[in-house]
Structure 1
Amino acid sequence: MLLTARQLLSFQRCHRQTYLDAFGDLQNKAEPSDFLTKLRQDKAQHQQEFLANYTYERPNYPARDWIAGAQATLELMQAGVEQIHRGVLRVESDIDLVSVAIPDLLTKVPGDSFFGGWQYVPTSIQLSKRPKLEYQLLATFQAQVLADCQGVWPEVAYLYLRERGWYTVDLEKNRPKLADLLSELLTMLRQQQEPEAFIVNNRCSLCGWYEPCYAIAKSQKHLSLIPGITPSRYPILQAHNLTTTEAIAAIEPFDLQALTGFSKDVSVKMVHQAQAFVQDQPVTLALRPPGYDLPLPTAMVELYFDIEAEPSLNLAYLHGVLVINRQTQEQTFYPLLAQTPEEEQRVWEDFLALVQRYPNAPIFHFCAYEVQTVERLARLYDTPMPMIETLLERFVDLHIWVTKTVVLPIESYTLKLIARWIGFEWRNSEANGAQSIYWYSQWLETCDRTFLETILIYNEDDCRATYAVKEWLTIFLEQQATSTNGQQPLISDFATTDPHEI
């Protein structure tokens, strides 16, 4: 059996992905998305920029011939080469196991080894901004295989991260964690144990196995489709025989709290989320979020705001603003677009000029990103803070309003799922934030305006989806206020947690 660093990294993210890569029908696996392809290209560029500072040698061997690659690498190490790029480390641990690791860089340092008065330390170059545990354990695995090749554990292993730079991995601390992880991985592979199809939306969406896994989870009505049921909470529910949506919907929140040890807020939200699924209708939490004294605003003129950005460039390149004039019944979309990174300041100033034309209009957005970006751009371009403070007082986060006032029969509280639940559809059904990042990078590379036009359509639809959600929520809350004579539902005393957070 072949054990690779790639398998180890995959297993940390999703056991089922590793299983399917080994035993699944690869015809059912989708090709990498455009965004995932871009991430891989960005990582390759990051590695090239790092390696440009070094003189290194690379072993020469036929593609995927790990035996030849390991032999070529061993010869370079025996010769005392200072830097080796993507050297193949291969060890036969027992009768049926071969471990292979390919560090991005092996660096010669003083010390005893099979080779003489020197040894090597591994470096893994990652696009991540922080030293995630999964990358630390990957580096520890590389160090372990390297130790078998050179006869001694390296004193350290390194990660080289985007923005942060060098990070020293604590091998002693991570070796026990690696041993447990490898034991679990090898047991699954040797016994061919198929893991459950547990859906975690923010992880699974980029995986090529997402569609078949989601189909299985949907057919099983798997609890992972209920917001708030995380991989850590799921086994606790199983231990108390709470294995169906109906079972969770039927239990009292306080009983769930007593059984599981979940917090009061988590228990209340989990029960009502299950009830929304079982009843296939919303469950009211409150008429307004806790701490809000006024109802959801409605004005003669309203603005709906959505930003598109390129994270790798730290660039906010599009400020989309939909102006709704209820008096004239006009709807006007303003796409304030930076066609190059150098135009970011101009579109920022255009945005400020536009919103100042409607000084009394509330500015609706979805989630905190728009607020965070406005604050960042204000600092970057020395915008007077009193102006920004006055501007931000007009911002209304519809994500807060939805998640604090109602529970919906949906699997995640994203704008796309909420808007689609109320009947809104994007003109491009495949469009999403990740795809727009890819489209903009392609525009910069090719100057093909088709990419820009596709982004503008997507951004306008995001603004219109935000408007649709606001209109639906306004009507819904007015109906609830009428049915309760304006009194807050009692459930609001307990439900203070965002279901997207639980």
Structure 2
Amino acid sequence: MQTTELQPDAEPCWITDSCLFQYHRCSRRAFLDRHGETSLRAPANDYLLKLRQDSAEHRQSVLHSYQPLSEPPSGDRLEQAAATYRLMEQGVDYISRGVLIFEIAPNLSLLSSPDLLIRQPGNAYFGEWHYLPADIKFGKKPKLEYQLIAAFHAYVLAEVQGRWPETSLLILRSSKVCEIDLPKQLPRMEELLQACIATLSQPQIPEVFISHSRCDLCHWFSYCHQEAKQQNHLSLIPGITPARYTHLQAANLTTLRDLSQAQPAQLASLPGFGEQVAEKLVHQAQAALMNKAIARLSPHSPYGFPLAPEDLPTTEIELYFDIEAAPDKNLVYLHGVLVVDRRRQSETFYALLAEDPDQEQAAWEQFKNLVQQYPEAPIYHFCPYEAQTVKRLAEEFGTPLAEIQPLLNRFVDVHKCFSEAVTLPIESYALKHIARWIGFDWRDAGANGAQSICWYDDWLTTGDRTYLEAILRYNEDDCRATYHIKEWLVNFAQTFWP
């Protein structure tokens, strides 16, 4: 397997909290951020820019409650570190954007910049006071990477002020404050730090590994994905996690051909595999090599195929349902329903839209009224989210269970049916990957769920209806993609049904 070699900088090495955070998520990203060719980085998309803006606004709203607030003047790293130290010597109550530097070896320094330094009683270098660090995060939970960086802040601060803080804080969304268990997290952080230093000091770029849940928003994604495609890297196989990849490497199964020729029983005993996962991974490798769909046969089915005709009913009228929501606002702003009427040979799309967040309940009522006009029609959707959201909205808006349960009984999850029955040569069983493989595409190339959220924010901000029109096109295409996938799956299954 070929790898790209990039020469490390000859300049002094800085390990910052941001660098360590990215290293915990992906060692390759940390290396590329330090040594990679900047022209290969993709610009931030609208959704990432929105996340950054939301995070910045949350940070400012939290800092507003910590007054009087001192901030070191702008300058280079050393100047800001000196200014931060002077503020600590003065004993100010709160310091924002402080810079803490600890040189751990010649030409190797740690740089910590916690969102807040909060004065506490207790002796340190400055006198009868010291500081504890706090980071402000837009997340709802104290994720492990947040805790490790909070421990890093405490580690560097202890050297700067000559005393360990009692804790390190995380201030989360809704101003929830979490104290970090430093005795537990410091050893983990130090292990992470040593690994980060070793990786950034070597000349060779870490091996590529594509994980869509973590990679899709990364500015190196296109660069890494292209390399993975050239290598036919196993991380492009759905279901191969970093942990499973490590076990496959230990078993000398490092190529698509190796994996395609393996016996599922050979893999089932590996940690984190089991019979079902092993069989799926071997099938995925075979489908990728042959570039064709493979049926997942079942000895327990009378058809030898996991799906029966009643699992995918073809009726005179069928509904295809897709929701658009803004999780940060806890808001469902669009219920899209495609009504396929085989008697009239018509396809009609209904957009039940909350043009304003206050109209969410009205859109919900419109959705209920529409689907109740077709009481026998199956309601096809993709993944469990639609069913889960309907349950939540029913509770939120007081819809009786006796009314909502018959509705939910009509729901059919196309994703579940598809993933149980067919293996495709694709990287993910997300809607777009499946639909594009079978020949369906979206009218707006850059449209996706995250972009829809940005468009809705833009509509609320500007009142420009072109943003609403883009949302409706995208949602209708999602409904139609679900329809095309269901039709394709029925045609595929019919070769097994009598």
Selected match of 2:335 from 290, 314, 319: 319
- Quote how far apart the aligned CAs of 1:224 are: 0.2
Bigger Cα displacement from structure 2, 89-98 vs 346-355: 89-98
In structure 1, the partner of 2:356 is 340
Amino acid of the residue matched to residue 17 of structure 2? A
1:194 is paired with a residue whose SS is coil
Structure 1: state its 5+ residue gaps: 483-502
Q: Deviations over 1:290-345 (max 9, x none)?
A: 69893311110000000001111000000000000000001100011111110000
Report if the CA contact (8 A) 1:158-1:169 is conserved. yes
Amino acid at match of 2:42: A
2:29 counterpart of 1:17: yes
2:453 aligned partner: 437
Q: Verify: 1:175 aligned to 2:186, yes or no.
A: yes
Could you tell me how far 1:189 is from its partner in structure 2? 1.0
User: Which of residues 263, 271, 277 in structure 2 aligns to 1:266?
Assistant: 277
Q: Which residue of 2 aligns with 1:491?
A: none
TM-score normalised by L of structure 2:
0.94
Answer with 284-293 or 53-62: which moved more: 284-293
State how far apart, in whole Å, the 2-side matches of 1:176 and 1:291 are.
Answer: 50
Question: What's the CA shift for 1:260?
Answer: 6.2
Q: Matched residues in 2 for 1:219 and 1:172: separation? A: 44
Cα separation, 2, equivalents of 1:164 and 1:328: 55
Give per-residue Cα distances to partners, 1:250-288, cap 9 Å, x unaligned.
111112224667311111111111111112111211478
Report the CA distance between 1:448 and its aligned residue: 1.3
Q: Could you tell me which of 416, 423, 438 is aligned with 2:432?
A: 416
Corresponding residue number in structure 1 for 2:46: 34
Partner of 2:442: 426
1:149 aligns with 2:149: no
Q: Read off the aligned partner of 2:495 and give its amino acid letter.
A: Q
- Work out which of the residue numbers 363, 369, 374 in structure 2 matches 1:358: 374
Alignment RMSD: 1.5
Q: Which residue of 2 aligns with 1:89?
A: 100
The 3 A distance-change label for structure 1 pair 389 and 455 is same
Which segment is superposed worse, 46-55 or 1-10? 46-55
Matching residue's letter, 1:205: D
Residues 321 and 338, structure 2, Cα contact 8 Å, conserved in 1: yes
Residue 414 of structure 1: how far off its partner (Å): 0.2
Which secondary structure does the structure 2 equivalent of 1:304 belong to? strand
The answer to whether the Cα contact below 8 Å between 1:124 and 1:158 also exists between their aligned partners in 2 is yes
Aligned residues: 481
2:289 — aligned with what?
Answer: 278
SS at match of 2:336: strand
- Secondary structure of 1:224 counterpart: helix
Alignment-mate amino acid for residue 59 of structure 1: E
C-alpha distance in 1 between matches for 2:353 and 2:174: 27
Please report how far the alpha carbon of residue 197 of structure 1 lies from its aligned counterpart in structure 2 after TM superposition: 1.4
Task: Give the 5 Å matches for 1:373-452.
Answer: 373-452=389-468
Matched residues, percent identical? 50
| Structure 1 match to 2:117 | 106
Pair 1:393–1:39, CA change in 2 (3 A): same
Q: How does 1:192-211 map to 2 (within 5 A)?
A: 192-211=203-222
Pairing partner for 1:128 from 129, 139, 146: 139
Note the alpha carbon deviations across 1:433-481, whole angstroms, 9 max, x for none: 1111111111111111111111110000000000000000011011133
Q: Do residues 299 (structure 1) and 339 (structure 2) align?
A: no
Asked if 2 retains the 8 angstrom alpha-carbon contact of 1:131 and 1:161, the reply is: yes
| CA pair 431-371 structure 1, distance change in 2 beyond 3 A | same
Instruction: For structure 2, list consecutive stretches of 5 or more residues without a partner in the other structure.
Output: 1-12
Which of 73, 82, 96 is matched with 2:84 structurally? 73
Q: Partner letter of residue 155 of structure 1?
A: E
Amino acid at match of 2:399: T
Match of 2:170 among 159, 168, 186: 159
Cα distance change, pair 56–195 in 1 and its aligned pair in 2 (3 A): farther
Number of the residue aligned with 2:477? 461
Measure the CA separation in 2 of the matches of 1:333 and 1:293. Answer: 26
In structure 2, the residue corresponding to 1:480 is in which secondary structure? coil
Question: Given the alignment of the two structures, is residue 186 of structure 1 paired with residue 197 of structure 2, yes or no?
Answer: yes
CA offset digits 1:393-412 (Å, max 9, x no partner): 00000010001111111110
Does the 8 Å CA contact 1:3/1:100 hold for their aligned counterparts? yes
Distance 1:463 1:222 in 2: 32
